[in-house]
Amino acid sequence: MSRRTKLGFAVLALVAIALPLISDDLTLRRQTQLIVLVLAVLGVNLITGYTGLISLGHGVFVGTGAFAMANFIDWGLPAWAALIASTVFVGLVGVILGLPGLRVRGLHLALITFGLALAFPPLVRRLGKLTGGTTGRDVDIEFMPPAFLGIDEHAQIWRYVVCLAVVSIWFVLAWSLVNSRMGRALRGVRDNELASAAFGINLTMAKTGAFGISAAMAGTAGALQAILFPFVSHAQFDAFLSLRLYAAAVLGGLGTLAGAIFGVIALITVPTVNDALGLLDNEAVVFGLGLVVMTFVAPDGLAGLFSGAGQDPDSGDSTNTTD
Amino acid sequence: MELLLQRCFDGMFNGAIYASLAIAVVMIFRSTGLLNFAQGEMAMMSGYVALVLLSSGGVAGTGIAGWLPGHPWPVTIAIIGAVIFGFVLGAAVERFVMRPLEGRSALSQVNVTIGLLILLNGLTLQIWGSNGRFFPSPFPADIDDFISIGGARLRLTTLGVWGVLIVVIAVLGALLRYTRTGLAFRAISSNREAASLVGVPIGRTLTIGWGIAAGIGALAASLVGGAIILEPLTMMKMLIYALAAATIGGLDSPKGAIVGGLIVGLAQSLVPGYLGVPTELSILPPLIAMILVLVVRPHGLFGTRPIARV
């Protein structure tokens, strides 16, 4: 682990500890909701950054996760089981919706996923029994700390800690995934499909697997959102959510795990800065402008901006080999 | 029979709108190999500009437009104004956003158009708010302005939109066929490197091409106003229909764009009626058709079959 990475971890840990201390309950809830979105951004990063399949539809998976959670809780599953069940369920949905990705790549896949993102809210409105139709539905859960801890008055901090733990688990899984044989296979698929196939990589398995895992991540994010704020409706999961997730993944930096964290930092800071300056009452302008500007000044995203300037001498990855 | 005809006529109106936007998408795809995801939002902004030009008040920006001679303008003139605005916007996007990214990865070019989509949508929302606005039709659009064919009503707006579409295609065809810039544009579409080697001014031609594409989009957005109310989400749905149309027809074929537009428009009015798909889900038939086409026959009905050397 390089010095820079260690420093990054230290800063993250500090921020993670400081957040509940400096924020009031309401802000902390809002921040927790955004922090769980890091999983959705991580999902986009895995499928677009690592595997090279553009997904403009990850909001669909977040939404499916949220509605799945609501229904699994209806069935009487305990929260943790419902969380795992919705994650698995969304993973399967991702495998199915990712099937076109086996034959279609690049722009065309972007098109399909964008279409799915647009079709999701009307579909949800039609599935009234499961999703609450046009009005939305409550999620029948109180996300409270267990009684023996006796910290009921700090429930918000408990929720924050639980969500952070789930997010961390996914990050560890993602980290070991991208550094495994499968992770190398995904990058191979991204860089040259034919060559990877020639090296014996099973393209079908690699792509559907990547889609499934990436969707499952987004599904966990949705499921957590559904219990953080126990009300879900189609309006929360419109096409703009998908676009925002994609924008966050690109802004953060595709193809690095740190990129997802940076992306969510962008997701959190943009509205905050917006509020503070009071310039614009919609963040879309900032996101859009950010995406355009970043493509020019930092094509590798914020993560690239922070790591590109000075490569670690001990990482063995020198950019100035010609000198 | 009457009902079938009626549904066809209804679908034809939307079909013309999708076809125009699809032509804009195809023009850019042919010449640059890029899908402009911001095409719909560029068109929508132009639509709002038309609205500003023809309103005497109550729309943000009418104050600024007030010093224009003769403002508020009649609908037709306002639409021409919007087309000019669209042209300038499209040309500016090519010149100042896309051109500097030339030679960068396809992904960063896609990212920029998605960024523009979000940005322009946000700007429109910021300037004109999220409330729907009524946009008058340039054609007679009263309840009794129709021609009765076999008992079904062919509305004059539908005829008008198709008339405009045919004129647009004719003018575009003539531009491409008989002008120097048109020749250059065709050269770039067929082989960009060779064109640049023989001295075709790539940059200038593409700027004009993007301008024309955005102008056609602006026209589509202004004409759709006769049927629905302009609101910031309108064009995003239009875009996916137009993209479906372009894909079904073949992404590099203008003819395909028109046929595709018609197919999508008709599918949208016929499928819910006959197959029992609720109208709300009318996005599904075009979407499924698009996915099937992309999976089974990526070059669509009229597109060039891609040949890759491996």
The one-digit pLDDT tens for each residue of chain A (323 residues) are: 677 778 888 888 888 888 777 878 888 888 888 888 889 999 999 999 898 899 999 999 999 999 999 999 999 888 899 999 999 999 999 999 988 888 887 788 888 999 999 999 888 888 878 888 888 888 888 777 777 776 777 788 888 889 999 999 999 999 999 999 888 999 988 888 888 889 888 888 889 999 999 999 999 999 999 988 888 888 889 888 898 899 889 988 888 888 888 888 887 777 777 666 665 566 778 888 888 888 888 888 888 777 654 443 333 333 333 33
Do A104 and B294 lie within an 8 Å CB cutoff?
yes
Q: Note whether A104 contacts B298, CB cutoff 8 Å.
A: yes
The pLDDT value given to residue B275? 76
Asked whether B140 and B155 are in contact (CB, 8 A), the reply is: no
Alpha-carbon gap, residue A33 to A39, rounded angstroms: 11
Integer angstrom CA distances of residue A308 from A303, B137, B169 = 8, 54, 49
Spatial separation of the C-alpha atoms in residues A42 and A263, rounded to whole Å: 9
Question: What tens digit of pLDDT does each residue of B133-171 get?
Answer: 777 777 777 777 777 777 777 888 888 888 989 999 899
* Shortest CA distance from A108: residue in chain B: B294
Find the residue in B nearest to A249 (Cα): B111
CB-CB neighbors (< 8 A) of A118 in chain B:
236-237, 240, 283, 287
Q: What is the pLDDT of residues A87-143, one digit of tens each?
A: 999 999 999 998 888 888 778 888 899 999 999 988 888 887 888 888 888 888 877
What ipTM describes this predicted complex?
0.86
Residues of A in contact with B105 (CB under 8 A): 299
**Tell me, what's the pLDDT at A34?**
83
Decide: B241 and B264 in contact? Cβ < 8 Å. Answer: yes
Helix residue ranges per DSSP H, chain A: 3-22, 25-44, 58-74, 79-97, 106-126, 128-131, 155-178, 181-191, 193-198, 203-228, 239-252, 257-277, 284-297, 301-308
CA distance A285 to chain B (A): 5
Q: Residue B115: which of A240, A254, A295 has the nearest Cβ?
A: A295
- Which of A252, A178, A247 minimizes the C-alpha distance to A213? A178
Cβ pair A288:B118 closer than 8 A: yes
The alpha carbon of B9 is separated from its chain's Cα centroid by a whole number of angstroms, namely 20
Whether residue B138 is preceded by a cis peptide bond, meaning omega within 30 degrees of 0, is no
Which of B107, B114, B283 lies closest to A118 in CB terms?
A: B283
Give contacts of B280 with chain A, Cβ < 8 Å.
122, 125-126
Taking an 8 Å cut-off on Cβ atoms, the answer to whether A126 and B116 are in contact is no
Kindly give the parts of chain B with pLDDT less than 70. 225-232, 310
The alpha carbon dihedral of B198, B203, B208, B209 has a sign of: positive
Query: Which residues, other chains included, contact A317 with Cβ-Cβ below 8 Å and sequence gap of 6+?
Result: A311
Q: Which residues pair with A137 in a beta bridge?
A: A232
Q: How far is CA A198 from the centre of its chain?
A: 32
pLDDT of residue A133: 80
Distance, in Å, from the CA atom of A159 to the CA atom of A66, rounded to the nearest integer, reads 16
Q: Which of A107, A112, A250 to probe by mutation at the B interface, max B CB count within 10 Å?
A: A107
